[in-house]
Amino acid sequence: GADHIFMYELQVDAKLKAVLDYYERDEKFISVAPLSLPGGLPNIPYLQHMFLKSKLNHKRQNELIPYNDCFYRNMYLYRYIVLLDIDEVIMPKLADDWSDLLFNRVIPTWRTSNQHTST
């Protein structure tokens, strides 16, 4: 499993905020960082929702900010980093767990098929 989960908080309900606070404060299993739209983009909840709903291209571009932030914050702390949306999950079908999936299936395949970094 994962050693730690880093999450970004963008307009969450008070009950969800309480749950996130519990796991961050008491369990120390997650870290939650506040997230807002950059520059002059709207950060008032209703306006932000309408903006992101109507400007799908802007929404996609702004999703890169927390991905990059997470990667650069943690690149020297962990050997492996997985960037996932809240609605995504890694479910090993041909492996017993994440470790087996990574070390016995993904890495050997990657080493034999990729001799360079793609851009």
DSSP letter assigned to residue 40? T
pLDDT in tens, 7-58: 999 989 999 999 999 999 988 889 999 999 999 999 998 999 999 999 998 8
Separation CA 102–CA 65 (nearest Å): 26
| Residue 117 in this model has a pLDDT that exceeds 80 | no
Where are the chain's structural domains? 5-87, 89-119
Q: Long-range contacts made by residues 17-24, C-beta under 8 angstroms, separation at least 24? A: none
pTM summary value: 0.73
Nearest to 29 by CA among 56, 57, 5, 65: 5
